[in-house]
Amino acid sequence: MTRPPRILAVVALLAVLALAPGTALAQSGARPQPPAPAQEAPPPPYEPQLLRLSEILGALSWLREICGDKDGEQWRASMRSLMEAEAPTEARRQRLAGAYNRGFRNYETLHRACTPNAQIIIERFLDEGGKLANEVTNRFGGG
């Protein structure tokens, strides 16, 4: 069975246009585009509390280590647990980890040794962190 000459001419013309450099088709960028990245869902209403809690966990990781409590790994483990529970996307993990790192680095820079001021900060952060955790749990159902 032979094809009508008109169809063969159209197929040939399309092939020439597709392969010829400088043609309108080649310049139009008619290449397949990669799929757009999936949009991240809006953050939960308790996002500010989680970011603050992450920052506190980072600060406590540093401060408790230099003050002799040697439980910095427990604070890091708490942060990992928080991220596993609350960070389903890479962008969200990055925000939470950034807050943790910010808390750690800020206090690492300011406090090189345990001082009475560092101990007061630890107590305040333990209190604030406990309140934030309770608020998120009680007000928002824990996630």
pLDDT digits 0-9 by tens, 101-115: 999 999 999 999 999
Q: Is the pLDDT of residue 96 over 50?
A: yes
Higher-pLDDT residue of 85, 10: 85
Q: What phi, psi does 113 have (nearest 5°)?
A: -145, 160
The position carrying tokens 């790192």 is 101
pLDDT digits 0-9 by tens, 21-61: 333 333 445 566 665 555 778 889 999 999 999 999 999 99
Mean pLDDT, the chain, rounded, equals 79
pTM of the model: 0.70
